[in-house]
């Protein structure tokens, strides 16, 4: 395979990693804006949707061009397929971030809640998974993704805990329904983002080792 191909592939891989980190930051900033009821920051996060979309289209087009021009095989093809999967996962994560940011306006001026669900902690768990998946791909190291199944279980358990707690609080005080409904949706989106991080990890594992795994 030509030197030009590998140079373009390396750049595409780097840019897909940067997109993943861009989406991860959207998610983290969105949760922060929701918790702090920071409408200007929430609006700024939502404005990144266009760049997210532009990156998606550009990276996908470059990946397809590499396949068409060079017809890569073996590991090179696995890397390109992995890049496409990471692009798709990152786009979904970024869009969930945009959706969480949109909720900030729903909680402003709503009655204060007696107990704030641990969304910040949940977001940290999820963004750490995204970070580790991205770094695993960057450094071609499987070590960072070996515990993803148990980490995903932790996120799932936290989602169910938040759902039960907020549902109870809403029943006790119906005035908090609007606020807590937004928090429940945010928690659900975070749980889905953890699932996307797991899918990334599955494809990264295949890209590096040639072995398919399923993270449950």
Q: Please determine, for residue 212, whether its predicted confidence score (pLDDT) is greater than 90.
A: yes
Rounded to two decimals, the pTM is: 0.96
Determine the straight-line distance between the first and last CA of the chain, rounded to whole angstroms. 36
Q: Average pLDDT of 190-201?
A: 98
pLDDT value at position 2?
Answer: 87
- Residue 1 predicted with pLDDT over 80: no
CB 30 within 8 A of CB 42: yes
The 3-state secondary structure of 94-140 reads HHHHHHHHHCHHHHCCCCCCCCCCCHHHHHHHHHHHHHHHHHHHHHC
Tokens standing for 82?
């992995």
pLDDT category of residue 82 using cuts at 50, 70 and 90: very high
User: What is the arithmetic mean of pLDDT over 15-41?
Assistant: 98
Share of the chain above pLDDT 90, in %: 94
Query: What's the Rg (C-alpha) of the chain?
Result: 19
Q: Which domains does the chain have, with CATH numbers?
A: 3-209 (1.20.58.220)
Q: What is the pLDDT of residues 142-175, one digit of tens each?
A: 999 999 999 999 999 999 999 999 999 999 999 9
pLDDT at position 41 over 90? yes
The pLDDT, as a whole number, for residue 113 is: 82
> What pLDDT is recorded for position 153?
98
CA distance linking residue 127 with residue 100, whole number of Å: 14
Q: Mean of the pLDDT values across residues 78-101?
A: 98
Q: Which long-range contacts (CB under 8 A, 24 or more apart) does 138-147 make?
A: 138/13, 138/17, 140/208, 142/204, 142/205, 142/208, 142/209, 145/201, 145/204, 145/205
Mean pLDDT across the chain, nearest whole number? 96
């Amino acid at each position: 395979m030509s030197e030009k191909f590998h140079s373009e592939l390396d750049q595409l891989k780097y840019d897909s990693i940067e997109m993943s980190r861009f989406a991860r930051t959207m998610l983290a900033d969105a949760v922060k804006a929701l918790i702090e009821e920071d409408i200007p920051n929430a609006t700024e996060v939502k404005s990144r949707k266009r760049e997210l979309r532009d990156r998606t289209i550009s990276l996908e087009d470059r990946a397809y061009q590499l396949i068409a021009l060079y017809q890569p095989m073996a590991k090179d093809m696995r890397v390109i397929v992995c890049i496409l999967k990471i692009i798709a996962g990152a786009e979904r994560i970024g869009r969930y971030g945009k959706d969480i940011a949109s909720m900030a306006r729903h909680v402003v001026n709503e009655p204060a809640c007696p107990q704030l669900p641990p969304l910040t902690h949940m977001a940290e768990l999820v963004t750490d998974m995204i970070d580790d998946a991205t770094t695993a791909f960057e450094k071609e190291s499987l070590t960072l993704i070996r515990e993803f199944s148990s980490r995903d279980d932790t996120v799932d358990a936290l989602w169910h805990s938040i759902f039960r707690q907020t549902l109870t609080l809403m029943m006790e005080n119906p005035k908090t329904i609007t606020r807590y409904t937004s928090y429940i949706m945010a928690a659900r989106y975070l749980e889905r983002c953890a699932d996307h991080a797991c899918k990334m990890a599955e494809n990264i594992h295949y890209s590096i080792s040639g072995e398919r795994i399923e993270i449950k």
